[in-house]
Amino acid sequence: MNIIRGTSKAFDVCVDKNKVPQTLTGVVSIIFKVNKDDTDANAVLQKDADSYDIDCARFVLTPSDTDITAGVYFYEVRWTIGTDIHSLIIDKVTIEKGVWEWYQDEMTRIRIRQQ
């Protein structure tokens, strides 16, 4: 997954077992970490799903959620039911610099001229 720093990103995580949709109860959350073994307390982002639709959890990452240093992070999507925690996805996410940051790095000035 790639996200441009400081922008919104919406996505669904849907759960099925043997091609049968699973009703999501409990809480589905996403966690971004610099290192895979970092504790949750050191995570750069922790967020619960914004909404649910039977077997899918919808995440809407806001610009403030994604306003973290550009780079590669580990992310985990967890499904917590009571005291049981199930890892649904463990993968990497790339937070990319926004266009304005690339130009700033190159010491280039951007202007928008109104007609």
pLDDT digits (tens, 9 = 90+) for 76-100: 999 999 999 999 999 999 999 876 6
Helices then strands (H, E): number in the chain? Answer: 1, 10
Give the start-to-end residue ranges of the domains of the chain.
Answer: 2-105
Does residue 35 have a pLDDT over 50?
A: yes
For 42-76, b/e burial (b = at least 16 CB within 10 A) is ebbbeeebeebeebbbebebeeebbebeeeebbbb
Residue with tokens 């790339």: 94
Q: What is the pLDDT of residue 18?
A: 82
Assigned fold of 2-105: Immunoglobulin-like (2.60.40)
Using one digit for the tens of pLDDT, what is the confidence trace for 47-72?
A: 999 999 988 999 999 999 999 999 99
Closest residue by Cα to residue 77 from 97, 91, 96 = 91
**Do 28 and 77 form a contact (C-beta atoms < 8 A)?**
yes
